[in-house]
Structure 1
Amino acid sequence: MKDQTTYKQSGKQYTSHHWLVTLLMVVAVGWVSGACEEDHDLNRTFQGPYFVRFTDSTLTYKESYSQPIAIRVHNVGPILSQPITINYSVSGTAREGKDYSIVGTKGTVIIPANKSFGEISVKLINNANNILDSQSLTFTLTGVQPNTLQVGFGTGEVPIGRRFTLTIKDDCLFGGFYTGSGVVAGRTATVPNVEITSTDCKQYTLSNWNIGLINFVVVGNSTLFGFNAEKPALIFTDNGDNSLTVPSQANDALGTNGALSGTGAWNPRNRQITLNLQAKVRIGMTSNSVTTYRDTTLLFTQTYTPQ
């Protein structure tokens, strides 16, 4: 018969059987405790109340953005079979009627029956004056019907989702999106969403001057561009007297030794920009296996109308 291992601690003796029993008791207690905690977690449920909130907390747009801006308010909870009417207030440094306007009824947004969100529609007013600054517009939810809902989540000073801020960035005089048009080969071509940008309100970048130029024949069947998808940019300068200058500039679209230049004008009444462009291209002519090159200047006029 083997001897049991004996341990001494504080004057007491313990056998290996004592340690085994103690270990099993610890494991059992831990299992019961874990099971209770797991059961407790499974029984956790949201006690409400459900609430409405702004979907976003901030958005930023340039004042030259011409499309209505949708500020969304949504219902965090079951979709209701009745409309939800939400009241809001407006504050900030932006001036109504000069920097922005609210489309529809100011101060109220409705989530239609059986829908999860409604929208406040804001239209920016482009009063570009070459003074680059920013204004803010803050919307705060103030009440909701039915009153079983609340505005924002939480009970702090400003519940989550109760407030939304729209930042309106000033733009340069010619900044924004335009529709370009021009007559090429007897046909009028138009291209929307041509963007004009500037960082100093003196030199501007126009994002695409390929206005129907796939129909502009240079020589034979060769055209200036092969696809409408080609979007060459150009740079022009504001002379400060409603006249514009397109300085001579290299352009990949015109090939080696090609250059683009021209003049232009801005109409302060309708804010249209007209560009008279000159594109210098080098044409290769092959005869009897001998290729000769000559420079040719192409002239075309384009008009850009604010969207």
Structure 2
Amino acid sequence: MRSSEKMGSRIKDSTGGVLEMEAAVLGDELVVGCIGAGKMARGVLGGLLLTGKVPAKNITVSAPTDTNLQYFRDNGCNTTHSNSDVLSQCRVIFLATKPHIIPTVLEEMKHAVTPQHVIISMAAGVSIQTLQGLTPAGTKILRMSPNLPCLVQEGMVVICRGTAAGQREVDMLKNLLSVCGMCEETPESYIDIHTGISGSGVAYVYLFAEALADGAVKMGMPSALSNKIAAQTLLGAAKMILQTGEHPAKLRSDVCTPGGTTIHALHELEKGSLRATVMNAVEAATKRARELDKR
């Protein structure tokens, strides 16, 4: 949400612009809390710290033990073992616990949740409907599905909103999550598909990268160099899809020359049913995510 009007606290975004928050929603200053301190919490909040979107003094993180809190302490954030402290000190609250812990956490929190809070769940398999049923009526709920490369600010995140969350809350979250990589709002029904293509899809890419590098090792290249070349090849190919806007099939065709090396290699991949196997993998992961969502 950007405006030339003064509406509340201002937080610089990564392009040097200004994000203006309405005080009635987010308080006098944007303060962010996180319940849970694992990898995804570190990926998201680490991005906020790295870019300065939210100063460390305005971030409070809770976890039951000190194990994962040390990272946040080292970076100047407030830490606590009390979820209630997070709720009382912050208006934007990320839920980054294991999915099965969410009901317990929300039961503990619900007496202190106010209309000014924005609750953002990262928990896989916990639907908006479930989250709304565990919080007071009218609570602003958003759900997000990140993937592991958020840890290096090259992630893919999709978000969806509950019935009480409006465009202001969506714009605020998208602005915050822009530090993680790319962020898109989607219908909640796409969350499980996102898991199949992107959440789990990262592992498919790692497997393919490993296979590329192993092929080079087989042909005589040292492993360290082949891993580096495979990674850069994948990075460059991905950037071309994003920056050109071309369909992957068009870019694939551009690499092929009649009778050349690439078309011969692609023939081998087609004989191994690579395309169908990857499609099946996305389908399998999506179906499993839907099963977890129904629990």
TM-score, normalising length: structure 2: 0.26
TM-score of the pair, normalised by structure 1:
0.25
Largest Rg, 1 or 2:
1
Higher helix residue share: 2
